[in-house]
Each structure stands twice: as structure tokens, then as C-alpha cells.
Amino acid sequence: MLPFNKSLFDKLAHHFLTVSNSLGDDWFIENHDDELILRKKVTTCKEFSASDQADNSSGTDELQVEDEDVLDDCGTNIFTWDYQIIFSESFCSPVLYFNVSDSNGRNVSLEKLHIEAKSNFGVISQQMHPIFNFPFYYVHPCDMATNSGWFKLVKENGTNALVTWLSTVASVVNLTILEEYSNFKFDYNLTMKSDKR
């Protein structure tokens, strides 16, 4: 198991939020009773190529959208990704939960999103959200939780462990982590500093 605990997770999450705010990356924290959720919502526009429209094949691309005019052009091909990072006491690890809804607010299946349920970076399952008691997908943390070698390296380098962990699982669920996060060091003696490389 990782040498992770809820107290460390909360400090890493607040550091992550500080960096996110300085980068304009739109993560935010929600507190529910004693639980902290590091959360981000991303709106994407699903683009169809000419061949997709002709033969209705599954090759699609998604673009992150911030411009309202572009959203208008997307019509009903808009997806909202809700990413939530919560600390799991049972795994002693952060867990990435996510759901995707269409422009009508209906949840979208993994198959429709062309996301594989199993990859080199983790297994995606669905379970009731531990706080909201609503079905959410999540990236199973067992592989990361049993391999503490990466955490030791992260701590020695002063990298925020959430950044390293999230960088390994993000691509599986269409989440982009800015490289600039790695420029901000976390002092595991509980002070923050920025590495100006």
C-alpha cells in the first residue's frame, strides 16, 4: 500500500488547486462533510469526419470547448465530462471518478465514448459514488496502490504525487494534464515552493 493518508491527500489537493488557479486550469474543491473532492468539468464537442457522416462509422475526435460560438456550432454533439478525485481509505490512494453527459443531460456509456474498460493504465469500472450515491465510472486504483516505488521517487523529486498519479491515468479518460504542473514543487515537509526552471 502507498504511504498515503487522507491528511496528505488533502494537502496535495490544496496544492494542486493553487497550481491550477495559477495556470487557469479550472479545477475546484468541494467539501462534503469530512470529504474533499478535487473536481473539474470539461465541455467537449464531438467532431464527425465526412466519412463518419457517410458510413456512420465510429471514428470521432473530441475538442475541449470554451468558446460559446463554437458550442453553438456543435449542436447536440456536446459532452460534459465531470472528473472527481476522492481519497479512498480502503485503497489508501486517490481514485478518479468520472461521468459524461450529453447535451440533454443523459449519461453517456463508455462504448459510445470509445473508451476501453481495460488499458495499461487501469481498469475502468462503475460503482455508486461514495458521496453522491449515484453511479459513476472510476479508474480502479489497485495497480497504483500496490506499487509504492513511484511514490518514493515523487517524494524525493518534490513533485506533487497527485500530478504524477493523475498524469498516468488521465489519458484513459480523455483528461489533459498541463505539463506546467510539474514546475510547481510540493514540499513534503508541508510548505510549497515553485521550481523556476
* Close Cβ partners of 170 (under 8 Å, ≥ 6 residues apart): 96, 176, 177
Q: Supply the CATH number for residue 24's domain.
A: 3.30.1460
Residue 64 in any domain: the answer is no
* Close Cβ partners of 136 (under 8 Å, ≥ 6 residues apart): 84, 97, 98, 99, 126, 127, 128, 129
Residue 67 in any domain: the answer is no
pLDDT for position 189? 76
CA distances from 89 to 5, 38, 45, 98 (A): 8, 16, 36, 19
H-helix or E-strand spanning residue 16:
helix 6-23
Q: How many CA atoms lie within 13 A of 142 on its CB side?
A: 7
Residue 63 in any domain: the answer is no
Residue 66 in any domain: the answer is no
Per-residue model confidence as pLDDT tens digits over 121-136? 568 889 999 999 999 9
The boundaries of the domain holding residue 168 are 6-46+74-194
User: Looking at the 3D structure of the chain, how many domains does it have?
Assistant: 1
pLDDT for position 196? 43
pLDDT for position 155? 84
Per-residue model confidence as pLDDT tens digits over 33-45? 889 999 999 998 8
Global confidence as pTM: 0.80
* Cross-strand partners of 36: 31
Do the beta carbons of residue 169 and residue 143 sit within 8 Å?
no
Task: Please report, in tens digits, the pLDDT of each residue of the chain (197 residues total).
Answer: 456 789 999 999 999 999 999 999 999 999 998 899 999 999 988 754 333 333 333 334 555 555 454 445 566 678 899 999 999 988 888 999 999 999 899 998 888 777 766 665 568 889 999 999 999 999 988 666 556 677 777 888 888 999 988 988 888 888 999 999 999 999 887 543 444 44
Backbone angles phi, psi at 154, to 5 degrees: -60, -45
CA distance 182 to 197: 10
CA distance 173 to 156: 28
